[in-house]
Chains A and B, each alone.
Chain A
Amino acid sequence: MAILTLTIDDQPVSGTETETLLEVARQHGIEIPTLCHLDGLTDVGACRLCLVEIEGASRLQPACTTRLQEGMVVRTNTERLQRYRRTIVEMLASEGNHHCAVCVSNNHCELQDLAYTVGLQYVRVPYLYPAKTLDATHKDFVIDRDRCILCSRCVRVCHEVEGAHTWDIAGRGIGCEIISDLKQPWGQSTTCTSCGKCVLVCPTGALFEKGATVAEMEKRTEFLRYIVNARQRREWNPDLLHEE
């Protein structure tokens, strides 16, 4: 496969045409903020935080879904991009009911981290204080939709990796919400395998384990890359299981 060369933030970098700008930037130590992206899941380009400027392109492009092209000149952190990112985080903060001080994910929250990164000091738009629901009917886990930012990682991991497709998004626009099966209580879901992958990939405290208290809910996402790599490369040969 041909090696392509391009410039990201004045730094010459190289990669292949199947790689995305986000992957190559990260390989070269250039951090681009993301929320909906997660290594191992398909990309949807929904959070708009990884938008970058590409010379010659009429619009900003999401780094997570843009493939490399020879000679691209990319900027990932201009003043304009910083301003947009701050406004988007501001909107996300105003959309839910986020109370960091009493949240299970305090100090382990990707939204909180992002707010620090983009330098969000206060939210200029009014908080929407939506009436959201909390569902604690599952024996091990809780979903608190107040803290959901609709990144759809849980939906994707449930469909793509676990294969259960318990979660999906219902409604439209600002009324969107994550639902299990026919919007029934999670504990009554007939499809959920209680595998907990959705909890582990959730960037905020929207999905958490029962018993976790303030600032105790740390998420692990490394398992995902491990499973996905193993499947793609067929490292888990079925024969290996029957060796003994």
Chain B
Amino acid sequence: MTVEELHELADRERERQAGVRHRVLYCSAAGCVSCGSHATRDAFKAAFTRRGLTESEVVGTGCMGLCGQGPLVKIHDDGVLYERVDAGLAHRIVDEHLVEGRPVAEHQLDAASPFFASQVKIVLENCGRIDATRIEEYIAVGGYEALARAVAELKPQEVVEEVRKSGLRGRGGAGYPTGLKWDIARKAPAEQKYVICNADEGDPGAFMDRSVLEGDPHRVLEGMAIAGYAIGASQGYIYVRAEYPLAIERLKLAIRQAERHGVLGSRIFESGFHFRIDLRIGAGAFVCGEETALIRSIQGRRGRPQPRPPYPSERGLFGAPTVINNVETLANIAPILRHGSAWFAALGTPRSPGTKVFALAGKIRRTGLIEVPMGIPLRRIIFEIGGGTPEGTEFKAAQTGGPSGGCIPAEHLDLPVDYEALATVGSIMGSGGLIVMDSTSNMVDVARFFMEFSRDESCGKCAPCRVGTVHMHDLLRKIARGRATADDVALLEELCETVKETSLCGLGQSAPNPVLSTLRFFRAEYDALLGPVEVFTPSNPLARGRGPGGS
């Protein structure tokens, strides 16, 4: 394909869409499909036939955000958004809204409400807007133009420089500057290099990456191809969780379409640049989100992390320099090249530019997927966008970063959401899961829940994580059951420190975070569960055999 052909294709698709009489968009992401959005789609089709509305179409799109209110439907003609659209409502919408011009008020969502108005969409700009199964729709909204421009007009070094100047930081959680990562890989002398998209979104309570892959897969492919051009790689891999069948299906389809249209494959946009992408399906191991473990897994091995250095950007997949970026990071690449690094750097905060996608869940009124500028106070996310906790309960903590993160209490709600600020309260940005806990949540139990997760997901390679997570979990269970003393908490704290400082990889190093942060902010909940320290004396037979650490 040439750049001219790309533009022709975009024009043709835009003309086609302009010729459509009514365009109804329904959410076909996993959340809404679970609520029956396929039945909604069929009902719209039937209603079109019934009313003789030819030249109308029902289009399945990516996530529209309000996952708790599905199935969601958007009328493209006037932008009206509907919630909980079942088959009956679909017929009503066609009759009353499309034919008679009176929107069905009681199911209509207010687009000016803070849930929508407070968001800034870059990564999710096409989610809920285009048909994820047709490359033409992606191209019609400017897709693959950034890639075309990069290979035609920019040197690899200039692409890296543009990404570096944008200030984009890794959205997988750690926040390492993407441009710097690319630069190391670009400078590494090697014949073969690789780009890996880390789509092993494992944090429980996080579904940002899945939504991007389901709703806008081409954006990720374009980001990967640009990364490949920038560092000199001709092969990319997407490592995606087996738990995301719809995302896998959409990615397979997107790769086939991209190859057929020549935006992936040999001589992309008639340049000397070749780039192929293959899928690798994970098999259920959280630790494979760690980059060295992910590499081992792609090589068909047990996903056990390796000591770093060497970092993958120097020696990674099959020993070659490898750039590993998370889905959301790669989804930011095309917009940065399209609008320029200065545009991106101006968004968010100076140290953390751009936006962040969060998955809001837990004890909150509006659960779903949101994208906000970095630096927005947590309070606005939870109360303005999320609508606060359900009736009759009080906000207690927000959990970010999953099993590697921490719980942020009410007194820190005015904290701006960026990498550094979250670290100051013992949490991390993480990949974007944001779980709200209310007054009914028990924080010791929350810490125990995450420790159980880390224990079960520890790969078992290094001793502190393999054994330490078991002991920390057992101590937390003992505390939760009211059988522990202050000595147990002291031991727990010491184990936390050792595991944090000595574990081999990020899983072990961050596994104590949920405990440390709940101890820091909710220590009273721990203390309330402790019994007196029993000291063994011959005259106290009850204390026999119950020294420190006994269970």
Docked pose: A130 CA to B502 CA in angstroms: 24
Docked pose: A59 CA to B508 CA in angstroms: 13
Write out the residue numbers on chain B whose beta carbons fall within 8 Å of the beta carbon of A176: 460, 466
Given A125-B495, A126-B551, A169-B460, residue A91 in contact with residue B504 (CB < 8 A) = no
**Interface segment, B70-78, B266-274, B468-476?**
B468-476
Q: Are B504 and A172 in contact (CB under 8 A)?
A: no
Write out the residue numbers on chain A whose beta carbons fall within 8 Å of the beta carbon of B456: 173
Q: Are A173 and B462 in contact (CB under 8 A)?
A: no
Task: Indicate if A209 sits at the interface (CB-CB under 8 A).
Answer: no
Q: Are A48 and B467 in contact (CB under 8 A)?
A: no
Give chain A nearest CB distance to B468 CB in angstroms.
Answer: 6
Q: Are A169 and B495 in contact (CB under 8 A)?
A: no
Write out the residue numbers on chain B whose beta carbons fall within 8 Å of the beta carbon of A45: 306-307, 462, 504
Task: Indicate if A47 sits at the interface (CB-CB under 8 A).
Answer: yes
Closest to A86 in B: B498
Q: Are B471 and A46 in contact (CB under 8 A)?
A: no
Given A124-B491, A172-B285, A172-B459, residue A150 in contact with residue B466 (CB < 8 A) = yes
Give chain A nearest CB distance to B463 CB in angstroms.
Answer: 5
Partner of B458, one of A60, A92, A126, A174: A174
8 A Cβ contacts from B166-225 to A: none
Q: Are B470 and A128 in contact (CB under 8 A)?
A: yes
Write out the residue numbers on chain B whose beta carbons fall within 8 Å of the beta carbon of A120: none
Partner of B549, one of A60, A65, A125, A174: A125
Identify which of A48, A84, A123, A176 gathers the most chain B CB atoms within 10 Å of its CB.
Answer: A48
Given A65-B307, A84-B498, A124-B491, residue A91 in contact with residue B468 (CB < 8 A) = yes
Q: Are B455 and A174 in contact (CB under 8 A)?
A: yes
Task: Indicate if A189 sits at the interface (CB-CB under 8 A).
Answer: no
Write out the residue numbers on chain B whose beta carbons fall within 8 Å of the beta carbon of A60: 501-502
Docked pose: A31 CA to B150 CA in angstroms: 54
Q: Are B504 and A48 in contact (CB under 8 A)?
A: yes
Write out the residue numbers on chain A whose beta carbons fall within 8 Å of the beta carbon of B468: 91
Give chain A nearest CB distance to B503 CB in angstroms.
Answer: 7
Docked pose: A84 CA to B494 CA in angstroms: 9
Q: Are B460 and A171 in contact (CB under 8 A)?
A: yes
Interface of chain B, main secondary structure: helix
Task: Indicate if A97 sits at the interface (CB-CB under 8 A).
Answer: no
Task: Indicate if B464 sits at the interface (CB-CB under 8 A).
Answer: yes
Give chain A nearest CB distance to B59 CB in angstroms.
Answer: 43
Docked pose: A150 CA to B458 CA in angstroms: 14
Write out the residue numbers on chain A whose beta carbons fall within 8 Å of the beta carbon of B495: 87, 125
Given A173-B456, A176-B466, residue A84 in contact with residue B501 (CB < 8 A) = yes
8 A Cβ contacts from B496-529 to A: 498, 501-504, 509
As a 0/1 sequence over residues 123 to 137 of chain A, the CB contacts with chain B under 8 angstroms (1 = contact) are: 111101000000000
Q: Are B467 and A91 in contact (CB under 8 A)?
A: yes
Docked pose: A45 CA to B307 CA in angstroms: 6
Task: Indicate if B541 sits at the interface (CB-CB under 8 A).
Answer: no
Q: Are A91 and B471 in contact (CB under 8 A)?
A: yes
Docked pose: A123 CA to B471 CA in angstroms: 12
Number of B residues near A (Cβ < 8 Å) is 34
Task: Indicate if B102 sits at the interface (CB-CB under 8 A).
Answer: no
Docked pose: A47 CA to B463 CA in angstroms: 6
As a 0/1 sequence over residues 60 to 81 of chain B, the CB contacts with chain A under 8 angstroms (1 = contact) are: 0000000000000000000000
Write out the residue numbers on chain A whose beta carbons fall within 8 Å of the beta carbon of B470: 95, 128, 173-174
Write out the residue numbers on chain B whose beta carbons fall within 8 Å of the beta carbon of A48: 462-464, 502-504
Number of A residues near B (Cβ < 8 Å) is 32
Task: Indicate if A175 sits at the interface (CB-CB under 8 A).
Answer: yes
Closest to A67 in B: B309
Task: Indicate if B548 sits at the interface (CB-CB under 8 A).
Answer: yes
Task: Indicate if A62 sits at the interface (CB-CB under 8 A).
Answer: yes
Task: Indicate if A104 sits at the interface (CB-CB under 8 A).
Answer: no
Task: Indicate if A112 sits at the interface (CB-CB under 8 A).
Answer: no
Task: Indicate if B438 sits at the interface (CB-CB under 8 A).
Answer: no
Q: Are B504 and A46 in contact (CB under 8 A)?
A: yes
Q: Are B469 and A126 in contact (CB under 8 A)?
A: no
Q: Are B548 and A124 in contact (CB under 8 A)?
A: yes
Give chain B nearest CB distance to A92 CB in angstroms.
Answer: 6
As a 0/1 sequence over residues 217 to 238 of chain B, the CB contacts with chain A under 8 angstroms (1 = contact) are: 0000000000000000000000
Partner of B466, one of A44, A84, A125, A173: A173
Write out the residue numbers on chain A whose beta carbons fall within 8 Å of the beta carbon of B149: none
Docked pose: A48 CA to B502 CA in angstroms: 6
Partner of B307, one of A62, A84, A95, A171: A62
Task: Indicate if B134 sits at the interface (CB-CB under 8 A).
Answer: no
Write out the residue numbers on chain A whose beta carbons fall within 8 Å of the beta carbon of B466: 95, 150, 173-174, 176
Write out the residue numbers on chain A whose beta carbons fall within 8 Å of the beta carbon of B509: 59
Task: Indicate if A164 sits at the interface (CB-CB under 8 A).
Answer: no
Docked pose: A85 CA to B550 CA in angstroms: 22
8 A Cβ contacts from B521-551 to A: 548-551
Task: Indicate if A94 sits at the interface (CB-CB under 8 A).
Answer: yes
Write out the residue numbers on chain B whose beta carbons fall within 8 Å of the beta carbon of A51: 502
Write out the residue numbers on chain B whose beta carbons fall within 8 Å of the beta carbon of A172: 285, 457-460
22 contacts between A and B (CB under 8 A): A44-B306, A45-B306, A47-B462, A51-B502, A62-B307, A65-B307, A87-B464, A87-B498, A91-B464, A91-B467, A91-B471, A92-B463, A95-B466, A95-B470, A126-B551, A128-B467, A150-B460, A169-B460, A171-B460, A173-B457, A173-B470, A176-B460
List 14 extra interface pairs beyond A44-B461, A92-B463, CB under 8 A. A45-B504, A46-B461, A48-B464, A48-B504, A59-B509, A84-B501, A88-B502, A94-B467, A95-B467, A125-B471, A126-B471, A169-B302, A173-B469, A174-B466
Closest 4 pairs (CB-CB, A-B)? A176-B460, A91-B467, A45-B307, A173-B458
Interface residues, chain B, CB within 8 Å of chain A? 285, 302, 306-307, 455-464, 466-471, 474, 491, 494-495, 498, 501-504, 509, 548-551
